[in-house]
């Protein structure tokens, strides 16, 4: 197995051994090919963000293996994985440092995964590089290198976050509902930039969204999670056949099944309680 | 006059400590209470070394190293021990009280008749035939300015920018491959090194080290940083460190003025705390007022045209609390319905 992302029976339980124990990931096995653009959907609490955090190393997994670009990163700390993984968060405030300038933020991104040394910062050549990259956003940020990022709008900050996350090409790009906090117009802009950057750089990408239209329109593959498992895996061709209604029906069907499951569990529990 | 000159000289030496506090409090957003302990540690170490015959400058350098060690301990407690930042600092500070007594062997070490930086500079002045206060002033200023420029330089390097980003948005800088434990440790080490250096210099300047000399130092540092920000601003790194340094001098002048006005010296710590409270509470309120007035003016502009001034004044008078809004909204809705 070379390149891409490979998850093998990854499990995670929150608050194990307590009455609040919750199995957030149940033996998730998943393979994403290099350059594949995968969309991940699922209701709240389905385990989407947990999966992403497990891949990024924000939370340790209980069992299983995570292999990225042929390297087993299961035991790597978050900051070490960051050398390989680019991330854009839901909150536009999360992806940039507000009291630093646009140039300084770009410089931080440019040094992704490299040792930070006592070298003075940002020469003219680097500046030119940043201006060129910022120009691709078509937001005029290239003329505002010294502006503090905290003064930018949410849409501008999120576009900048996306650019920073992909500036040094990551082996994997994780997008965690990165347009959910934006108004529709800005969301559309950031999605267009996402499509452009991911395609141009052929980035292996995993994107969470709650928007069914986006889920059908974008990406090469669609995954649906429910209760810590991947319950639906559609190829680009299968996806093309589907309408939003079909997707919603699939959602309801999944929920219905677990509802039955829950009832079964409850009746078993009751049976046990009454047994002695 | 002697009071003001003494205040200036002390202020310049305390400025080094204030830049240290700026590093933790503003750059790392880490309220580090180690300062009370590491300042006295610097004083204790420098005084003991001077008494043992070490040169004043070397003693000050070792004081800086000792301070760095104190910062390292607080940093390890916080990052590796997962102890709350505030508590980590308090623990180190309390522990250092005992350590400082051990270092000095008693509660107070006098440097009378010892060869210190101060006596060295005095000898210089005498040889050159200049007033000793001129030499003190120039030397302390140059020292403080050198520290300021060094810190400025550091904060602009790759590593320094990573430290700044850690205080600004740790999740973000981790996602770009920086180990924030490391940057927090580094920030605490540098900060407390400066605090220890300042303590070592102050002990030599005042002619003694005392186990109590660090008490309330963190508040003095905060007061310096905040007063400086009000006076000079903190828009750039250059200004922010200059502000901390100048704030330390200004703070000394405030204290001198208070003494001049016959404020009981026992009340000085109370006064310092009040200054910090006022400096922390008032600027945000003023800023909010200014913003509200501007918004009101814009609103009034859009809605009421010529009556805008009256309207803005009315709203400002009503107070912009949530209660006031609650009262207004339903009435507006009712009006639309009718």
pLDDT of residue A253: 80
Alpha-carbon span B28 to B276, nearest angstrom:
19
Q: How many CB pairs under 8 A join A and B?
A: 85
pLDDT of residue B54: 96
B165 contact A CB<8A: yes
Ordered by start, the domain boundaries in chain A are 5-94+171-242
Ranges A45-49, B29-33, B219-223: which has the least confidence: A45-49
- Nearest residue in chain A measured CA to CA from B176: A112
Average pLDDT over residues B136-153: 97
Average pLDDT over residues B245-263: 94
Given a cut of 50, whether residue A276 has pLDDT beyond it is no
- Nearest residue in chain B measured CA to CA from A169: B176
| pLDDT, averaged across chain B | 88
Which residue, B241, B188, B150, is CA-closest to A120? B150
B169 contact A CB<8A: yes
Q: Which residue is it, tokens 């301990």?
A: B73
Given a cut of 90, whether residue B288 has pLDDT beyond it is no
Alpha-carbon span B175 to A95, nearest angstrom:
8
Average pLDDT over residues B121-142: 94
Q: Do A100 and B168 touch (CB under 8 A)?
A: yes
By the 10 Å C-beta count (0-12 exposed, 13-18 middle, 19+ buried), A91 is classed as middle
Alpha-carbon span B53 to A206, nearest angstrom:
66
Ranges A152-161, A259-268, B165-174, B252-261: which has the least confidence: A259-268
pLDDT of residue B300: 63
Give the residue ranges of DSSP H helices in chain A.
Answer: 48-56, 78-81, 102-110, 124-135, 154-167, 184-201, 212-217, 236-240, 244-274
pLDDT of residue A195: 94
Which chain A residues touch B156 with a CB distance below 8 Å?
Answer: 120-121
> Bigger pLDDT: B287 or A110?
A110
B241 contact A CB<8A: no
Average pLDDT over residues B300-321: 46
pLDDT of residue B338: 30
The SS3 assignment for B40 reads helix
Q: Do B158 and A119 touch (CB under 8 A)?
A: yes
pLDDT of residue B301: 58
pLDDT of residue B29: 94
- Nearest residue in chain A measured CA to CA from B160: A118
A111 contact B CB<8A: yes
Which chain A residues touch B176 with a CB distance below 8 Å?
Answer: 82, 108-109, 111-113, 164
By the 10 Å C-beta count (0-12 exposed, 13-18 middle, 19+ buried), B45 is classed as buried
Average pLDDT over residues B254-266: 91
The SS3 assignment for B32 reads coil
* pLDDT tens track for A196-236: 999 999 999 999 998 888 888 899 999 999 989 998 899 88
pLDDT band at A275 (very low <50, low <70, confident <90, very high): very low
Average pLDDT over residues A119-146: 88
Write out residues 208-267 of A within 8 Å (CB-CB) of B.
Answer: none
pLDDT of residue A186: 87
Ranges A194-208, B171-185, B315-329: which has the least confidence: B315-329
* pLDDT tens track for A71-86: 999 999 999 999 999 9
Given a cut of 60, whether residue A170 has pLDDT beyond it is yes
> Bigger pLDDT: B267 or B326?
B267
| pLDDT, averaged across chain A | 87
A198 contact B CB<8A: no
B149 contact A CB<8A: no
Q: Do A108 and B176 touch (CB under 8 A)?
A: yes
Given a cut of 60, whether residue A271 has pLDDT beyond it is no
A104 contact B CB<8A: yes
Alpha-carbon span A259 to A254, nearest angstrom:
9
ipTM above 0.90, yes or no: no
CA distance A97 to chain B (A): 5
Calculate what percentage of chain A has a pLDDT beyond 70.
91
Which residue, B54, B265, B170, B301, is CA-closest to A79? B170
Average pLDDT over residues B60-72: 98
The CATH number of A5-94+171-242 is: 3.40.50.300
Q: Do A113 and B176 touch (CB under 8 A)?
A: yes
Given a cut of 60, whether residue B13 has pLDDT beyond it is yes
Class of domain B2-262: mainly alpha
Average pLDDT over residues A230-248: 86
pLDDT of residue B173: 93
DSSP A12: E
Which chain B residues touch A94 with a CB distance below 8 Å?
Answer: 169, 171-172
To probe the interface with B, which of A97, A100, A160, A170 has the most B CB atoms within 10 Å? A97
């Amino acid at each position: 197995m070379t390149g891409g992302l490979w998850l093998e029976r990854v499990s995670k339980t929150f608050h194990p051994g307590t009455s609040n124990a919750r199995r957030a990931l149940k033996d998730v096995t998943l393979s994403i090919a290099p350059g594949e653009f995968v969309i991940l959907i699922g209701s709240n609490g389905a385990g989407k963000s947990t999966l992403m955090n497990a891949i990024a190393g924000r939370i340790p997994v209980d069992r299983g293996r995570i292999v990225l670009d042929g390297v087993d990163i299961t035991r790597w700390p978050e900051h070490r994985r960051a050398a390989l993984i680019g991330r854009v968060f839901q909150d536009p405030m999360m992806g940039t440092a507000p009291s630093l300038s646009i140039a300084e933020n770009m410089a931080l991104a440019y040094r992704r995964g490299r040792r930070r040394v006592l070298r003075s910062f940002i020469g003219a050549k680097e500046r030119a590089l940043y201006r060129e990259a910022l120009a691709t956003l078509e937001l005029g940020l290239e003329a505002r290198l010294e502006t503090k990022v905290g003064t930018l709008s949410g849409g501008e900050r999120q576009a900048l976050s996306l650019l920073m996350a992909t500036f040094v090409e990551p082996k994997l790009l994780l997008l965690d509902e990165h347009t959910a906090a934006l108004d529709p117009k800005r969301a559309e802009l950031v999605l267009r930039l996402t499509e452009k950057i991911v395609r141009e750089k052929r980035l292996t990408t995993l994107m969470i969204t709650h928007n069914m239209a986006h889920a059908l329109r974008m990406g090469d593959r669609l995954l649906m999670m429910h209760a810590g498992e991947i319950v639906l895996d559609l190829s680009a061709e299968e996806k093309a056949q589907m309408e939003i209604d079909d997707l919603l029906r699939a959602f309801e069907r999944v929920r219905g099944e677990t509802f039955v499951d829950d009832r079964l569990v409850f009746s078993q529990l009751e049976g046990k309680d009454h047994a002695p | 006059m002697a009071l003001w000159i003494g205040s200036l000289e002390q202020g310049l030496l305390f400025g080094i400590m204030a830049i240290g506090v700026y590093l933790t409090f503003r750059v790392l957003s880490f309220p580090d209470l180690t300062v009370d302990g590491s300042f006295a540690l610097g004083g204790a170490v420098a005084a003991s070394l001077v008494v043992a015959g070490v040169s004043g400058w070397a003693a000050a350098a070792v004081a800086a190293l000792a301070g760095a060690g104190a910062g390292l301990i607080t940093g390890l407690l916080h990052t590796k021990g997962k102890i709350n930042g505030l508590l980590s600092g308090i623990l180190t500070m309390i522990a250092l009280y005992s350590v400082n007594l051990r270092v000095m062997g008693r509660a107070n070490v006098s440097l009378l008749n010892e060869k210190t930086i101060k006596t060295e500079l005095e000898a210089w002045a005498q040889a050159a035939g200049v007033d000793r206060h001129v030499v003190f002033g120039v030397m302390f200023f140059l020292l403080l300015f050198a520290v300021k420029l060094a810190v400025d330089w550091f904060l602009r390097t790759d590593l320094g920018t990573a430290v700044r980003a850690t205080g600004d948005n740790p999740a973000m800088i981790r996602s770009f491959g920086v180990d924030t434990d490391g940057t927090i440790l580094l920030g605490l080490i540098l900060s407390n090194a400066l605090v220890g250096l300042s303590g070592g210099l102050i002990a030599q300047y005042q002619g003694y080290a005392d186990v109590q000399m660090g008490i309330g130092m963190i508040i003095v540092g905060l007061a310096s940083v905040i007063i400086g920000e009000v006076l000079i601003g903190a828009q750039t790194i250059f200004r922010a460190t200059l502000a901390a340094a100048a704030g330390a001098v200004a703070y000394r002048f405030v204290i001198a003025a208070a003494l001049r006005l016959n404020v009981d010296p026992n009340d000085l710590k109370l006064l310092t705390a009040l200054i910090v409270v006022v400096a922390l509470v008032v600027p945000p309120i003023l800023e909010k007022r200014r913003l509200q007035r501007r918004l009101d003016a814009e609103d009034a502009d859009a809605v009421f045209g010529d009556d805008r001034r009256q309207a803005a004044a009315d709203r400002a008078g009503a107070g912009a609390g949530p209660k006031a809004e609650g009262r207004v909204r339903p009435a507006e809705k009712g009006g639309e319905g009718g």
